[in-house]
């Protein structure tokens, strides 16, 4: 296995055992970036000091440091503030912006010894579900470059899938980690709201934004969260709860765990190939010893409408600061999607419409949260599809924003409720012409595209989600993406 293909666990073990150096593993990632980024467009900027950071990590290693990510290359969604390294939010408005401080998560990663490879592409301001709204061009799905990798954390997902980085940061406001993870055969975590600091992350919708990451395995996801969770006086929404070791129960299996499947998630609008895949997932969990229980989340059908009132309202407020006076360029540099959301949000908050739209949406949000609270009285966790469809072709939905918004139907409710969600790969599905199985003998362009499922749990149940996801993952073959 090539060094850039290693997981976090494998990289840490190899570095500790001095089987290779941080410089070697960082160089392997940089070589992969140089080789493929012109085609995939996952990176907006590469850190020119990455190898210097790797050398320092190797020097620290000589003193037997126990820093959990010492020397491991990590890449950051370009919505994370990075001191001295350009941060654009994938928007021309901030094309030349150089922050004066690191986001809390970035600081924690650096304190843990991580090497920062660079900044990753995404839908501008994190507005999108496909990666096509970036002002620096769309990211492409490395499994088939005619297709989208999902969004908004498109570059994060593509970079991890193609082994340009060992792991990557992301943000999830309505599915922006889980959906691209599902589209690229990677693992993606949307943590409980308030578990990971939002300080230094360019805000999209402040009551919905969750700061997570994408990795190659569930175990890597737990290792990463052990570094980033909790403890930040700069973020008043951060939990005061004790942060557990997320690796502790990883290998306990799912015997005796009750897993719910919402009947609303298998109805109309679900692509038959996705339905077939999730049914196989349900069957597999039953074989592993979990008790599968049908449940109902009755307000699911209102989730998307509720989200696309609340989210643009918060977007319009957050983007008001970009006036071209304090930093960045003026508002004429905003892309079409940003303008659309500003207009929608301003309208729903305006006099005469606040009561009719925003207030009602907030009331529905409460009902959605109560749906989950009642469900978790009966089951320990919930599984569902991530997206109602497989990845779509580049350009297929770009002129139909409503069609694009529908791809968030199964993910937004977790953000509305503030609960965690873990996306786990569950195989490959074919284009309509080839049926449902993975066909290894076909050319790469015809081999199908990844799909996954999500595990949802009560607030602060990430430890349980990792346990469930890891149990399923052990039944699957890990595939290496090669172009």
What 3-state class would DSSP assign to 85?
Answer: coil
SS3 423: strand
**Which pLDDT does position 447 carry in this prediction?**
61
Q: Which of 188-197, 265-274, 424-433 has the lowest mean pLDDT?
A: 424-433
Alpha carbon distances (Å) from 215 to 23, 70, 134, 162, 307: 21, 17, 22, 11, 27
d(CA 329, CA 254): 52
Please provide residue 341's backbone torsions phi and psi, each rounded to the nearest 5 degrees.
-75, -35
Distance CA 219, CA 226 (A): 11
Which ranges of 86-176 would DSSP assign to H, the alpha helix?
Answer: 104-111, 154-161
Q: How confident is the model at residue 327 (pLDDT cuts 50, 70, 90)?
A: confident
pLDDT band at 440; cut points 50, 70, 90: very low
pLDDT in tens, 179-233: 999 999 999 999 999 999 999 999 999 999 999 999 999 999 999 999 999 999 9
Position 328 pLDDT exceeds 70: yes
Q: Over 80: is that where the pLDDT of 323 sits?
A: yes
Is the per-residue pLDDT at 292 higher than 80? yes
Q: How many CB atoms lie within 10 A of CB 55?
A: 17
Q: What is the mean pLDDT of residues 403-432?
A: 92
- The region of weakest confidence among 104-118, 221-235, 400-414 is 400-414
pTM over 0.85: yes
The predicted structure's pLDDT at residue 432: 53
CATH match for 3-473 among 1.20.1260.10, 3.40.50.300, 3.40.1350.10, 3.90.1300.10: 3.90.1300.10
Q: Catalytic residue positions?
A: 77, 152, 176
Local confidence band at 431 (pLDDT 50, 70, 90 cut-offs): low
Q: What are the strands, taking DSSP E only, across 273-357?
A: 291-295
pLDDT at residue 115 greater than cutoff 90: yes
Q: Helix 22-40 and helix 8-16: axis angle, to 10°?
A: 150
pLDDT computed for residue 352 by the predictor:
83
- Torsion, CA 159, CA 127, CA 76, CA 158, rounded to 10: 0
81 falls in which pLDDT band (50, 70, 90)? very high
Minimum mean pLDDT range among 107-121, 225-239, 316-330: 316-330
* Amino acid 405: pLDDT: 83
Q: Measure Cα distances from 242 to 67, 106, 196, 340 in Å.
A: 20, 21, 13, 41
Alpha helices, H only, 162-260: 178-184, 218-228
């Amino acid at each position: 296995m090539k060094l850039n293909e290693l997981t976090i666990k494998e990289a840490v073990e190899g570095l500790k055992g001095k089987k290779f150096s941080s410089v070697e593993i960082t160089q392997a990632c940089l070589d992969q970036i140089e080789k493929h980024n012109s085609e995939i467009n996952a990176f907006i900027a590469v850190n020119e000091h990455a190898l210097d950071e790797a050398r320092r990590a190797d020097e620290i290693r000589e003193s037997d440091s126990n820093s959990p990510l010492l020397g491991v290359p990590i890449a950051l969604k370009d919505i994370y503030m990075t001191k001295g390294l350009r941060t654009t939010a994938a928007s021309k408005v901030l094309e030349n912006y150089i922050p004066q401080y690191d986001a809390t998560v970035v600081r924690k990663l650096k304190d843990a010894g991580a090497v920062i490879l660079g900044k990753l592409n995404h839908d501008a301001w994190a507005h999108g579900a496909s990666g096509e709204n970036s002002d620096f061009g769309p990211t492409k799905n490395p499994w088939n470059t005619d297709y989208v990798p999902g969004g908004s954390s498109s570059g994060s997902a593509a970079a991890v899938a193609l082994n340009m980085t060992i792991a990557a940061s992301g943000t999830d406001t309505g599915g922006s980690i889980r959906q691209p993870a599902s589209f690229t055969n990677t693992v993606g975590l949307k943590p409980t709201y308030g578990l990971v600091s939002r300080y230094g992350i360019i805000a999209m919708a402040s009551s919905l934004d969750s700061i997570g990451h994408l990795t190659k395995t569930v175990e890597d996801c737990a290792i990463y969260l052990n570094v980033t969770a909790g403890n930040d006086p700069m973020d008043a929404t951060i939990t005061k709860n004790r942060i557990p070791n997320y690796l502790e129960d990883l290998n306990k299996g799912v015997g005796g765990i009750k897993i719910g499947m919402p009947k609303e998630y298998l109805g109309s609008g679900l692509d038959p190939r996705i339905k077939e895949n999730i049914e196989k997932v349900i069957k597999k969990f039953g074989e592993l010893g979990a008790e599968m229980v049908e449940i109902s989340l009755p307000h699911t059908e209102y989730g998307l409408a509720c989200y696309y009132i609340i989210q643009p309202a918060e977007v319009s407020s957050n983007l008001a600061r970009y006036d071209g006076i304090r930093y960045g360029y003026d508002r004429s540099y905003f892309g079409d999607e940003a303008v659309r959301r500003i207009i929608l949000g301003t309208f729903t908050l305006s006099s005469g419409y606040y009561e009719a739209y925003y207030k009602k949406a907030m009331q529905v949000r409460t009902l959605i949260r109560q749906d989950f609270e009642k469900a978790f009285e009966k089951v320990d966790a919930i599984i569902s599809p991530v997206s109602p469809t497989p990845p779509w072709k580049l350009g297929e939905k770009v002129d139909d924003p409503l069609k694009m918004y529908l791809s968030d139907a199964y993910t937004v409710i977790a953000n509305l409720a503030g609960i965690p969600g873990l996306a786990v790969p569950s195989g490959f599905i074919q284009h309509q012409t080839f049926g449902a199985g993975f066909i290894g003998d076909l050319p790469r362009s015809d081999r199908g595209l990844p799909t996954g499922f999500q595990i949802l749990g009560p607030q602060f149940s990430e430890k349980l989600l990792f346990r469930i996801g890891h149990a399923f993952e052990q039944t699957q073959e890990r595939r290496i993406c090669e172009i």
